Chains A and B, each alone.
Chain A
Amino acid sequence: IYAQTFGLGRAALPEEIAAWNRDVRPDGVGLPAGSGDALTGEGVFEAKCAACHGDFAEGIGNWPKLAGGMGTLNRQDPLKTVGSYWPHLSTAWDYINRSMPFGAAQTLEPDEVYATLAYILYSNNLIEDDFVLSNENLASFELPNAGGFFMDDRDTTELAAFSQPACMENCKDSVEITMHATILDVTPNDTTDDGP
């Protein structure tokens, strides 16, 4: 069906595809066989995650909080965690498996990933401590904010209003300054001063 190919590249071998094709979809496609529970995960988390994410996945300093924040999404400073915000457990499994721990990614075995994720669910009060997460039940586990997302709707909610002919004169009666950046004073000054 294509006009032209160039005969460049070579066929990828099954072992090569298996090594790199590791993404996991919400329907569970891509999950390897395995399982783990929160109690096992607590040990993995303590050894490999807690230094940044805290003993209870509550986060240390500026490092991401993985638990908490339930019911905060419509508040002024929402706390977005795996429990309060993420739509799919597959994403958490995939991300931990491919990109965590930070600085030593791709070092966890599948069972460790299942267990770690079970501990994160436990920290979010979403499972009891004897719950076993596995490739069998992961895709059917529904996170609280699974229904919280919708496709980009700017074309219907913004485009008409933002495509009106622009006002050029007498566009408003008065203009007052309502906020100053210098009051916050959080901008780095010269190149040797990067605080606060």
Chain B
Amino acid sequence: MSDKPNTGTTRRGFLAASAATGSALVANAAHAQTPDPMITEVQEWASGLGVGVDDAPYGLPIRFESDVIRRNVEWLTADVISSINFTPIHALDGTITPQGCAFERHHSGAIELSKDDYRLMINGLVDTPLVFTYADLERFPRVTRTCFLECAANSGMEWAGAQLNGSQFTHGMIHNMEYTGVTLRTLLEEAGVQPIANWLFVEGADASSNGRSIPMEKALDDCMIAFKANGEALRMEHGYPVRLIVPGWEGNLWVKWLRRMEATDAPVESREETSKYTDTMANGTSRKFTWVMDAKSVVTAPSPQMPITHGHGPLVITGLAWSGRGAVTGVDVSTDGGKTWMPARLAAPGQDMALTRFYYDHNWQGEEMLLQSRATDSTGYVQPTKSQLRAVRGLNSVYHNNAIQTWWIKSNGEAENVEVS
């Protein structure tokens, strides 16, 4: 982080100012000596007029929230076309990710494909190879389901050590949406999948194609195509007009701009399941077809981008937990680097393969904290430490880092991404 003096209204500037005066603003709020002009003086918005209902037919967040945006880390990839950006999870609450700031991962850019031009083909080991238009797809019985999509590489830069300073960067290759669409079972039954077909190869309409092989058992179990997310059409960058939903499994399989599904009797072993999305162990051999995203959690605030600026006293510690194996059943929080754990509150019971919000209400007296969270899921799986994962996998597996994250909260309220013994 920069040590440059920071003026203006950023959190860091505010922090520096409040630290210098011993959190004077908080003290003032609690023990006001003079009447507050925000109350005693008539403000412009209480006298004049706001904007009309025709001002924004489709609105954006208010300008004061301009830091709640996707961020790119330039040095991670060769260019911005086959690249990644990050959801601002540090600043969000609840579980639904606003589509407009939900992360993107493309391999040949976000393409523009209209509903009119859209075609979906089912071919291979089926009784009747079929072509669907977008309008056809809207006539099948619909389902709605909320799931997280986590990039296999989420937290991947942290395998070798603490590297990026903020939950947006360490854990922000994730979003959680309510999807509406059609089950793959419905579509595949329409074409008549033959019994010998135990794999399904899926690919997108973009130049990268992003072809992946999925076991037919999973395809027929809970996969779906989606044309709506969080109530509206998919965003262009999320696969408009149709994408694949693969609950609990690594984001790369969630093929966007889905154009073809081929029933086969063997995996294709495409580039995205050989060169990429294979996990190299310490001895140089590599796991392949590591589909499930294991149970994971992160404290989103306080965190490096969300320092404590309000001084001592009540502090909301909050974060997200999820598991591709099932539902989150509990989250524990530690303030001392894992020596002692306390159960957090879940905002709502965990749903299968969806984000779960947790809260831990703390009375902070300026003590340094080594803040951690640890998720448990409905199968009994407990989120491991990074040391536990490294003991099995070494440092080079790139993907599937679901380790416990530590934030060092300093006495001035600043936070840093660290590793602890």
A positions within 8 Å CB-CB of B: 2-6, 8-12, 16-17, 20-21, 23-27, 52, 61-64, 73-74, 76-78, 80, 82, 85-88, 90-92, 94-95, 98-99, 102-103, 105-106, 148-154, 157-159, 161-182, 184-191, 193-196
Q: Can you offer 15 A-B residue contacts whose CB atoms are under 8 A?
A: A8-B140, A76-B395, A80-B280, A87-B269, A94-B271, A148-B286, A149-B285, A154-B287, A161-B388, A164-B382, A175-B338, A178-B420, A184-B161, A194-B74, A196-B74
Asked if B25 is at the interface (CB within 8 A of a chain A CB), the reply is no
Of all chain B residues, the one with the shortest Cβ separation from A29 is: B266
Q: Which of B72, B122, B283 is in CB contact (< 8 Å) with A194?
A: B72
Asked if B370 is at the interface (CB within 8 A of a chain A CB), the reply is yes
Known: A11-B129, A17-B129. A186 touches B75 (CB 8 A): yes
Interchain nearest-CB distance for B356 vs A (Å): 16
Scan B122-135; emit 1 where CB is below 8 A from any A CB, else 0: 11100011111100
Give the complex CA separation of A25 and B213 in angstroms: 11
Asked if B33 is at the interface (CB within 8 A of a chain A CB), the reply is no
**A12 in contact with B131 (CB, 8 Å):** yes
Of all chain A residues, the one with the shortest Cβ separation from B283 is: A74
Known: A168-B332, A187-B169. A152 touches B121 (CB 8 A): no
Interface of B: prevailing SS = loop
Known: A25-B266, A105-B108, A194-B74. A166 touches B374 (CB 8 A): yes
**A180 in contact with B381 (CB, 8 Å):** no
Give the complex CA separation of A20 and B259 in angstroms: 9
A179 surroundings in chain B (CB, below 8 A)? 161-162, 418-419
B31 surroundings in chain A (CB, below 8 A)? none
Size range of the chain B interface in the assembly: 35 or more
**B209 in contact with A99 (CB, 8 Å):** yes
Q: Which of B1, B268, B384 is in CB contact (< 8 Å) with A189?
A: B1
Asked if B190 is at the interface (CB within 8 A of a chain A CB), the reply is yes
Interface of A: prevailing SS = loop
Asked if B278 is at the interface (CB within 8 A of a chain A CB), the reply is yes
Give the complex CA separation of A164 and B411 in angstroms: 34
Give the complex CA separation of A16 and B78 in angstroms: 35
**B163 in contact with A181 (CB, 8 Å):** yes
Give the complex CA separation of A166 and B338 in angstroms: 11
**A159 in contact with B381 (CB, 8 Å):** yes
B122 surroundings in chain A (CB, below 8 A)? 9, 12
Q: Which residues of chain B from 373 to 421 have any CB-CB distance to chain A below 8 Å in the complex? A: 374, 376, 379-384, 388, 392, 395-396, 408, 416-421
Give the complex CA separation of A24 and B190 in angstroms: 26
Known: A151-B289, A186-B164. A74 touches B266 (CB 8 A): no
Q: Which of B69, B271, B284 is in CB contact (< 8 Å) with A91?
A: B271
A164 surroundings in chain B (CB, below 8 A)? 382
Give the complex CA separation of A173 and B338 in angstroms: 10
Q: A188-B72, A194-B72 are in contact. List 8 more A-B contacts (CB 8 A).
A: A5-B192, A21-B123, A23-B262, A74-B283, A162-B383, A181-B416, A186-B164, A196-B74
**B392 in contact with A158 (CB, 8 Å):** yes
**B132 in contact with A9 (CB, 8 Å):** yes
A106 surroundings in chain B (CB, below 8 A)? 207
Of all chain A residues, the one with the shortest Cβ separation from B271 is: A95
Asked if B241 is at the interface (CB within 8 A of a chain A CB), the reply is no
Give the complex CA separation of A8 and B140 in angstroms: 8
Give the complex CA separation of A175 and B421 in angstroms: 5
Known: A78-B284, A105-B207, A163-B382. A152 touches B140 (CB 8 A): no
Interchain nearest-CB distance for A194 vs B (Å): 5
Q: Which of B269, B275, B336, B339 is in CB contact (< 8 Å) with A85?
A: B275
Give the complex CA separation of A82 and B274 in angstroms: 10
A189 surroundings in chain B (CB, below 8 A)? 1-2
Of all chain B residues, the one with the shortest Cβ separation from A147 is: B285
Interchain nearest-CB distance for B385 vs A (Å): 10
Interchain nearest-CB distance for B374 vs A (Å): 6
